[in-house]
Structure 1
Amino acid sequence: MQLNRKKIAFLALSGLSLVFSGSLSAEDKGLISIIVNDMSNPYWKTEGGIAESTAEELGYSVSLSSHVGDTNTESNQIDTAITNNAKAIILDPANADGSVGAVQKAVEADIPVFIINSEINEKGLAKAQLVSNNAQGAALGAQEWAEQLGGEGRYIELQGPPSDNNAATRSNGYETVLSQYPDIRREASDVANWDRTEGRNKMQSMLRDNSDINGVISGNDEMALGAISALKQEDMLDDVIVGGFDGSPDAVDAVRSGEVAYTVLQPVAIFAEDAVDIADQYINTGETGLDSEKKLYDCILITADNVDDYTSPFVLEE
């Protein structure tokens, strides 16, 4: 009996054991190399886990690794995939510009590359780039956040790294919506590199000069959760509306508890699976089946009203 791919990933990510009478598939179709960012982050752990379980179910052996945002590590991982004659590489790139050279190496070695989550700034190298519709998701989140603020207030923004196109797209999306609210004013912003600890530390620093804020908008959930920690320490959380982005399990729990106003769910469970399916099709037919290189996946807003529909990592029931 075949288990649902997302269920396999969910069980694995929950620390539960899976026992099979054999491998997911008796067929050995070669190696797929899956390279993601930071497996200690639940978002990227889900991304890697679902891609891995999908590839194994389709009959491939898998190499799963993470570069933690370092382009040198990423380049070495690409070299390893080339040495091991990978049939395909599924890559969440470390850097929009800095990862182009590593992808080029794989292409020159006749290994197709399928980009997920974050884009590279070079068209025509990857066979596909599958990413969340970050502009759409940012607009959803910013509109919800502005309404919960009542259309007025002072806020702090936590941003992702400038090397990641997603960070700029989300920040610009927030600004586009919030510019329509003249009584909402940004008092400070800083880069916290998608990290919870950095989010807490940067938030603590900005609060020293901005103690009268009533809102925090964040480029991802980990930074938002770090901000919550800092706000709790200053006994300010009850008076500050915090918004996140990703749909991570911890952020969803914080929505349930009322500590986070909302999170924007990225459909990572969908595009991680799709990337492997598309890679498999390309390996077998030489075609991706896509109309263009880039495919966008719309995000979903999670609030107190629909949080109970969230059933597993990065999955919202329709």
Structure 2
Amino acid sequence: MNISRRLLVSACALALSGFVPGFAMAAGTIAIITPSHDNPFFKAEADGAAAKAKALGYETMVLVHNDDANKQNELFDSAIAAGVKAIILDNAGADASVAAVKKAKDKGIPSFLIDREITASGVAVSQIVSNNYQGAQLGGEEFVKLMGEKGNYAELVGKESDTNAGIRSQGYHDVIDQYSSMKMVARQTANWSQTEAYTVMESILQAHPDIKGVISGNDTMAMGAYAALEAAGRKDVIVVGFDGSNDVRDSILKGGIKATVLQPAYQQAQLAVEQADKFIKTGATGVEEKQLMDCILVNKDNASKLETFALKP
């Protein structure tokens, strides 16, 4: 056999073994499943996770469940069928997501949850969430301060199926309810939606024209509420959000929405991928399943440093 023939045979053998000289082989695929990217918070999660996964040598499968547990279940089936190494998940319901995560676990595929917890332990490998209660207390304290410790206000609440909605609301009220001159005249869900928040805010304004403030469970609803207030000529109403989005940052800098609470979505997603990588390689993460990341108050003093759910130095 001549030299060129031997080289060709060797190259074919290497290719069949999964190694081709000059090419880096992917470490496998990591699935990233989140709610809709129409919400910049969830897009930041997906972008952060995908960037870290690619940096660590993985292919990515980026999927969206739109807060539909049935759709999420189908996406898990797709990820399992594709033989992914791990799943990064911002789930579609604390109760409704347990079965899907367990199904993946039973197939040998570990899940790493971000942003939202599920109502079971020992099913996911990691549950990395923002300290929503601590963050809500920061937001509540700022809201009380901005309101001068008095006045009628409304609260916009997120999806009832989302654990975070209740935790944030509780954190707000554990602060605000200490002030007897602060009176909540309306409390309605807008399902984390800017469009719904606009409509809800219009109705609240009609019923309570003397309203002085709005505290919101997330920035998307805060943006919808502020747009409705602005359309009604009520720029005097104090609005505080939660998430730390670029949209609310811009509003704060223009003197619109007054404050938000930053939860580090991008960093959180990257941490989940790092833990997935360690688990894939060693069978353990070295940390507890449930992990909390503290939130940061963002107002006119530091809003200029906010970029894509992170504060620049």
User: TM-score if structure 2 supplies the norm length?
Assistant: 0.92
Shift of 1:317: 2.4
Name the CA distance, whole Å, in 2 between partners of 1:27 and 1:294.
32
Q: Secondary structure at the match of 1:289?
A: coil
Q: How does 1:28-39 map to 2 (within 5 A)?
A: 28-39=26-37
Name the CA distance, whole Å, in 2 between partners of 1:284 and 1:106.
18
Name the CA distance, whole Å, in 2 between partners of 1:34 and 1:269.
13
- RMSD, aligned CA: 0.9
2:8 maps to: none
2:297 maps to: 301
1:165 maps to: 163
Structure 2 counterpart of 1:185, from 183, 186, 190: 183
Deviations 1:275-294 (A, max 9, x none): 0000000000001121x210
Name the CA distance, whole Å, in 1 between partners of 2:43 and 2:309.
11
Q: Return the letter of the residue paired with 1:301.
A: L
Structure 1 counterpart of 2:258, from 256, 261, 265: 261
Shift of 1:33: 0.5
Shift of 1:268: 0.9
Name the CA distance, whole Å, in 2 between partners of 1:284 and 1:58.
12
2:273 maps to: 276
1:313 maps to: 308
Structure 1 counterpart of 2:246, from 244, 249, 261: 249
Structure 2 counterpart of 1:60, from 58, 61, 65: 58
Name the CA distance, whole Å, in 1 between partners of 2:228 and 2:128.
34
Name the CA distance, whole Å, in 2 between partners of 1:135 and 1:317.
24
1:106 maps to: 104
Shift of 1:307: 1.3
Deviations 1:74-109 (A, max 9, x none): 000000011011100001000000011111110111
Gapped regions of structure 2 (runs ≥ 5):
1-22
Task: Tell me, yes or no, if structure 1 residue 125 matches structure 2 residue 120.
Answer: no
User: TM-score if structure 1 supplies the norm length?
Assistant: 0.90
2:226 maps to: 228
Report if the CA contact (8 A) 2:47-2:266 is conserved: no
Report if the CA contact (8 A) 2:197-2:221 is conserved: yes
Q: Return the letter of the residue paired with 1:314.
A: F
Q: Return the letter of the residue paired with 1:169.
A: I
Which structure has the greater CA radius of gyration?
Answer: 2
Distance verdict in 2 for CA 1:27–1:57, change over 3 Å: farther
Deviations 1:95-127 (A, max 9, x none): 000011111110111100101000000111000
1:139 maps to: 137
Q: Return the letter of the residue paired with 2:72.
A: E
Shift of 1:171: 0.4
Structure 2 counterpart of 1:26, from 24, 27, 34: 24
Q: Return the letter of the residue paired with 2:61.
A: S
Name the CA distance, whole Å, in 2 between partners of 1:307 and 1:158.
22
Shift of 1:27: 3.3
Name the CA distance, whole Å, in 2 between partners of 1:249 and 1:66.
21
Count of residues in Structure 1 that have an aligned counterpart in Structure 2: 291
Name the CA distance, whole Å, in 2 between partners of 1:229 and 1:262.
15
Q: Return the letter of the residue paired with 1:313.
A: T
Shift of 1:164: 0.4
Name the CA distance, whole Å, in 1 between partners of 2:176 and 2:311.
27
- Which of structure 1's runs of 4+ aligned residues deviate more than 2 A? none
Q: Secondary structure at the match of 1:316?
A: coil
Shift of 1:26: 2.7
Structure 1 counterpart of 2:194, from 173, 182, 196: 196
Q: Secondary structure at the match of 1:314?
A: coil
